[in-house]
Amino acid sequence: MHSIFNWLVSIRILPKLLLTFLLILGPIYYIGLTMNRQGAEHMKTEIGNSLISRVSLYMEILDVDFDRTIRLMQEYVNDDDLLDLSVTSEIMTDIERTEATLRVKHRLDLLRESSAFLTSAFAMIPSMDRTITSEPSTISEFDRSQFDALRQLKNLYETPFLEWNGRVFISVPYPDVGTVKTPLFIAAVEVSRAELTDALERFTNEGGGAVLSGRSIPWTVAGAIGEGQGQTFREQMEWIGSSAANEVRTITVGGEPYMLAQKESERLDVTLSMFVPYQKIEEPLRDYERWLIVLSTMSVALVLIFSFSIYRMIHRPLKSLIHAFRRLKQGNFNVALQYSLKDEFGYLYEQFNATVRQLNVLVHEVYEQQYRARLSELRHLQSQINPHFLYNTYFLLYRMALRKDFDNVIPLTKHLGEYFQYITRDGMEEVPFEAEASHAKTYMEIQSIRFEDRIYAVFEDLPEGAEKIAVPRLVLQPVIENAYKHALEKKEQDARLTVKTEIRDKALRVTVEDNGEEMTAERLEELQAMLEGTREPVETSGLVNVHRRLRIKYGERGGLFLRLGENRGLCVEIVIPLEENER
């Protein structure tokens, strides 16, 4: 020991300094290697968590998109034109058949445009031996083999997709093939493999890939890899089974290991799998090890520069990246990192910025899809106005014509023309309240001619400032119609209806009160429950329709509010907040 001490003391300064720095760099090198390994594991964990988050987000996007398409298809199955063309096309005139076909094509165009993942929408009608399509040709030849493939019995809520000749479809036969031997028609859409492939490629990072595969029906769409390799991945994943939620697994395909995350959709009966090759994950880490070895062997003169370089190359960029992740975790999607170098951190910064931009786009797309879904429901509810009184009016007009009662026929036909002119303005979602009130008065005039002196109806003058207030179209007439139908038609005499308008508490309030059959507290409670959706509406769908439309547009502040009238009848108050009209 003494000799070693004497040797250390006797050597020159430079070797001593070198030996001292080597002794110092040895533990640092060891610590650096240990930190590098821990950082590698941490990075793999973060990449795995990111992979899980992305596959869940993208599966949700596909789920929402195709769920909307399936719901639209179920609505189109009940289309009157499709039923007419399927059942009565032989007795329809050429003009009627052409008009019905064009209306069906228009709805098919809307269905195809409802999703970027659809390439076409069509309706196959065997009785016409034709297929109406959203393509410019409108009508194409009827393909019996395709019809037989798309009419297969399946539960649309469990397995919506069908594959035929390498193409993927969603079909809805009518009526259900379980109830008849041959359906009257089939409404179907074809899923665009190209759009799905492009979407999957956008979902993945460089070097990774994604596979969307059916569970019950073996079809596969792959992004960033070929269809053949995608099929190989699908078979390998079927062999090892599906991964659990929030779990990253490792699979080996073609002798190369991959990090895999999966998300299953019970609604679509598909599995979305995203994977990244471990080679792409470990490649930057190997560069870190090489740089650490090189920097650890530098001369004493470069130790300070080395320390400063470590601070510049690792500590500060990593600190900025961590701070950026914290801001992103708090919901700030406007984070952008600046880095002038082109090293690994430059790559990480660039990918971080790209990921943030993509997340921002996806968040806005989800918000926009939710808005469109609410707007679609609003327009659907606006179209559900019950025109039953028109049948009675036409019978009344018929009886007047038989009696040659031309004095009443003239005003009645004039009011009917004004009524039809108003309700067929499909492009107008909102109208001035003055126009809505005029339409309601026209309806009351028609009913006055119909019931003569049995019902006394009064529409009081509008208050100052109410004429120009914008309101949703067709919200007043259905409420008045409900009063005639359910309260006043059965009264033999002294039936009264009063409509009063006032502006109060920052809202336009229209009160429709009748003196029909005596209203009880129990009956009033049942009606209120129907409006709120806790009970199924039976005879008051007009009230429910208007209430839901106002709630969708104005929230809890708007809608219909029921109470007992002064004459023990029903009093319905329509509330339209003024703030929404001023925006």
Structure tokens at 251: 């699979």
Query: How many domains are there within the chain?
Result: 2
SS3 318: helix
- Beta-carbon contacts of 213 under 8 Å, excluding residues fewer than 6 positions away, are 219, 220, 221, 230, 234, 237, 270, 271, 273
Please check whether residue 89 lies inside any domain of the structure. yes
Spatial distance between the Cα atoms of 396 and 104, rounded to a whole number of angstroms: 33
Please check whether residue 138 lies inside any domain of the structure. yes
Please check whether residue 575 lies inside any domain of the structure. yes
Spatial distance between the Cα atoms of 76 and 171, rounded to a whole number of angstroms: 12
Residue 484, number of CB atoms within 10 A of its CB: 22
Of 168, 198, 161, the residue nearest 70 (C-alpha)? 161
What are φ and ψ of residue 555, in 5° steps? Answer: 80, -155
Of 172, 203, 200, 165, the residue nearest 186 (C-alpha)? 172
- Count of alpha carbons within 13 angstroms of residue 537, beta-carbon side: 17
Please check whether residue 82 lies inside any domain of the structure. yes
- Beta-carbon contacts of 500 under 8 Å, excluding residues fewer than 6 positions away, are 460, 510, 511, 513
Please check whether residue 337 lies inside any domain of the structure. no
Specify the pLDDT at position 552.
80
> What ranges in 205-277 are assigned the alpha helix state H?
227-240
Q: Give the domain-ending residue among 191, 207, 228.
A: 191
Please check whether residue 358 lies inside any domain of the structure. no
Crossing angle (nearest 10°) for helices 80-87 and 94-113:
130
Exposure b/e, 502-539, CB count within 10 A at least 16 = b = eeeeebbbbbbbbbbeebeeeeeeebbebbeeeeebee
Spatial distance between the Cα atoms of 132 and 122, rounded to a whole number of angstroms: 5
What are φ and ψ of residue 120, in 5° steps? Answer: -165, 160
Domain range holding 440? 383-582
Q: 481, 542 in Cβ contact below 8 A?
A: yes
Please check whether residue 220 lies inside any domain of the structure. no
Query: Between the CA of residue 397 and those of 15, 67, 130, 400, 424, what are the distances in Å?
Result: 117, 46, 40, 5, 21
SS3 71: helix
SS3 132: strand
Residue 156, number of CB atoms within 10 A of its CB: 15
Biggest CA-to-CA distance, the chain: 138
> What ranges in 452-496 are assigned the alpha helix state H?
477-483
Spatial distance between the Cα atoms of 77 and 86, rounded to a whole number of angstroms: 12
Specify the pLDDT at position 384.
47
Specify the pLDDT at position 342.
73
Spatial distance between the Cα atoms of 150 and 142, rounded to a whole number of angstroms: 13
Please check whether residue 100 lies inside any domain of the structure. yes
Q: Model pTM?
A: 0.43
Specify the pLDDT at position 14.
42
Specify the pLDDT at position 312.
57
pLDDT in tens, the chain (583 residues): 566 666 655 554 445 545 665 677 667 667 767 777 777 777 778 888 888 888 888 888 888 888 888 888 888 888 888 888 888 888 888 898 889 999 999 989 988 988 888 999 999 998 888 899 988 877 888 888 988 888 876 777 778 888 888 889 998 888 875 666 778 889 999 999 888 888 888 877 656 778 888 888 878 888 766 444 555 665 555 544 555 456 788 877 767 788 888 888 888 888 888 888 877 777 766 776 677 666 666 554 566 555 555 555 566 777 777 788 787 777 777 777 777 777 776 777 788 888 888 877 776 666 556 545 555 554 554 454 445 566 777 777 788 888 877 777 888 888 888 877 777 665 577 889 999 999 999 988 888 888 877 888 999 999 998 999 999 888 898 899 888 888 888 887 888 999 999 999 999 999 999 988 778 888 888 888 888 775 555 554 678 888 888 888 888 889 999 998 888 889 999 999 986 444 3
Q: Give the domain-ending residue among 139, 162, 191.
A: 191
R_g over Cα of the chain: 36
Exposure b/e, 186-213, CB count within 10 A at least 16 = b = bbbbbbbbeebbebbeebbbeebbbbbb
List the CATH number of the domain containing 140: 3.30.450
The DSSP secondary-structure symbol of 90 reads G
Provide the CA 341 distance to its chain's centre, in angstroms: 41
Specify the pLDDT at position 297.
64
What are φ and ψ of residue 32, in 5° steps? Answer: -60, -45
List the CATH number of the domain containing 494: 3.30.565.10
> Hunting for tokens 């300070």 — which residue is that?
304
Q: Give the domain-ending residue among 191, 225, 241.
A: 191
What are φ and ψ of residue 114, in 5° steps? Answer: -70, -15
